[in-house]
Structure 1
Amino acid sequence: MAGRKLLLLLKPVDAYHATQSIPASLFTNPRVFHYLDNRCKVHKEAVDFCQKILQKKSVDWQPIFRNDLSQPIRNVDLVVTVGGDGTLLQASHFMDDSVPVIGVNSDPTQAEEVEEFSNEFDANRSTGYLCAATVKNFEQVLDSFLEGQTVPSKLSRISVSVNSKVLPTYALNDILIAHPCPATLSRFSFKIKRDDNTCSQLVNCRSSGLRVSTAAGSTAAMLSAGGFAMPILSQDLQYMVREPIATGGAISGLMHGLIKSDQSIDAAWFSKEGSIYVDGSYVFFTIQSGDTIEISSKAPVLQVVLPPHLLS
């Protein structure tokens, strides 16, 4: 354990003052302010708790707020993220396959609270799907890793190339290729290509875009759109054409499917504008008509200590 270097990546405390999910008419409601203040308080207490645990360990560690990340994470033995899945996802964009990560869900959803506010607003807190720990078991999870009893899992990520140039950010959850305006039609074509250069037939699409998810991300937007959950350690990707305009029977069977580890999607973009969104809306790359895009799982994996129930 001695000599280990650890990076503690923190969600800023003031991030919990965001109120976009709460109607403006409720801002004067004391219960709503109590809810928001409690979220901030619970997260701050979790941050303080994790730091106190680390102070007891024979490890060198450094805290940093996630918004201050600007360089690749290197020369550490472990990253601990304190926040939720968003904080872990943001960390993953700065990590290769050499550094493992443990996620701490600092503000878990409270079922009784969701029920209490169900007729007023969405009171769900953090899902923490990929987070192996909360304050209740953080020390246990950390010790198990440091003592070599817990081995991180290798999660597949998505690699995207535009005009044969690999984008610098790999997706842990999913990518969305679409027009920046959600009401605007996206025009593109694609085919599934194997490493031996055999291809599916070309599919010409007019739709609201193309989504591709990893196994880890298959329970997020992909599942909500009608996709299916995949075993989390699968190396396959799942793709879906969003809201396609009616197509023939043969083509419609290619609107949704799997990209095997020895396959890629080769796409061509034909709308004037477009964006490739990586793990949500904050990280995106612009594309234009005539650009070619290649999507595959040939990206460095991410080593993540997962909750045991995801592996059962």
Structure 2
Amino acid sequence: MLPLKPIPPPRRVMLYPREDGPAAYGAATQAAASLTERGIAVVVPAHVHAKAGTDGLELPASAVGVEIDSLPDNIDLMIALGGDGTLLRGSRWVADMGVPVVGVNLGDLGFLSAYGREQLLEVIDDALAGRLAWEPRLRMAVEVHRAGELFARGTAVNDVYIKHGQIPRLLRLATRVGGHDLALYKADGLIVTTPLGSTAYNLAAGGPIVAPGTEVFTITPICPHSLTLRPVVVAADDGVTVTWAGPTAGVSDGYLTADGAWKIGLLLGDEIRMRAAEMPLRLVPAKASVFEVLAAKMGWSGY
């Protein structure tokens, strides 16, 4: 068990609703009204604030819209309203600021959210009473080096994957761990995931479910050419480096995606370096473990 850190009662709360669902805007309306009535300042992303008065979204006059890539430094808590994807997208913007994130699951499965759709007012009560606590979750720092120079950098809470583009050809991905050669993967692509992301694309590709709180990365090939190329779990401190090594003949393209939130096209020879980020995600964990969720919602209990 990871140590839980208490969250003091917040003075300013950011609401981050899913953008494409009326349920999220209804929840944001309810949460904003409840917080405002109790004297708590409410902020929402500027693109959400611009939709106030439409799609069932009603915000108090005091609610402030903020640009998502230049958030103020006095946000005390983010409440993500949606599914796991919404929580991950929201956490990308506040994790480096050390802002704790709590999720209210408005979807079906949900591994990450601490509260369900019927508990919206309960999470607000718990937050204002100081009953919330966060635990650290590993994030990934990602750099792309091109021709020996830093080309792009970002972070991932969930996963990074490298795949072919419009032309489906097997990629050759030379992979190193801690400075040592691991494998030359010949596959449609490669997924590198944190424990938090192990139940996402990694799971669908046949990778293992990894217990939250462990400091490891999982490397999972996507449709490998050889059955001997299997998922591998490595220490996050060692870091993972993947170089796009081919094919060198004919037309091919590839790209890198992190958390499904940012994407860049790759060139042959590009080197992707992944390591543990300095600042973890401060996540209010679900009361049920990931294994209890699997047992309850995917029939793992067997009875």
TM-score (norm 2): 0.75
Do the aligned partners of 2:144 and 2:151 also contact (CA within 8 Å) in 1? yes
Of 293-302 and 283-292, more deviation after overlay is shown by: 293-302
Q: How does 1:1-312 map to 2 (within 5 A)?
A: 4-12=11-19, 15-16=20-21, 40=22, 42-64=23-45, 69-75=67-73, 76-95=75-94, 96-105=96-105, 107-109=106-108, 127-163=109-145, 165=150, 167-181=152-166, 183-193=168-178, 197=179, 199=180, 201-246=181-226, 252=228, 255-271=230-246, 273-280=253-260, 282-310=261-289
User: How many angstroms does 1:298 deviate by?
Assistant: 3.1
Opposite residue 126 of structure 2, the aligned amino acid is: S
Q: In the aligned structure 2, how far is the partner of 1:104 from the partner of 1:61?
A: 17
TM-score (norm 1): 0.73
User: How many angstroms does 1:181 deviate by?
Assistant: 2.6
What RMSD over aligned residues (CA atoms) do the two structures have, in Å? Answer: 2.6
- Is the partner of 1:102 in helix, strand or coil? strand
Unaligned 5+ segments in structure 1 are 17-39, 110-126
Unaligned 5+ segments in structure 2 are 1-7, 49-65, 247-251, 293-303
Do the aligned partners of 1:89 and 1:279 also contact (CA within 8 Å) in 2? yes
- Is the partner of 1:218 in helix, strand or coil? helix
User: How many angstroms does 1:308 deviate by?
Assistant: 0.7
Query: Cα–Cα, structure 1 residues 2 and 210, in superposed 2: closer, same or farther, change >3 Å?
Result: closer
Deviations 1:177-203 (A, max 9, x none): 11223722212211211xxx5x2x352
- Is the partner of 1:296 in helix, strand or coil? strand
- Is the partner of 1:93 in helix, strand or coil? helix
Identity of aligned residues (%): 24
Deviations 1:171-226 (A, max 9, x none): 11111111223722212211211xxx5x2x35222210110111111111211221
Greater strand percent: which structure? 2
User: How many angstroms does 1:140 deviate by?
Assistant: 2.4
Query: Cα–Cα, structure 1 residues 64 and 151, in superposed 2: closer, same or farther, change >3 Å?
Result: same
In the alignment of these two chains, the number of paired residues is 257
User: How many angstroms does 1:259 deviate by?
Assistant: 2.1
Deviations 1:247-291 (A, max 9, x none): 7xxxx36x42112032111221124532111112x4212220111
User: How many angstroms does 1:98 deviate by?
Assistant: 0.9
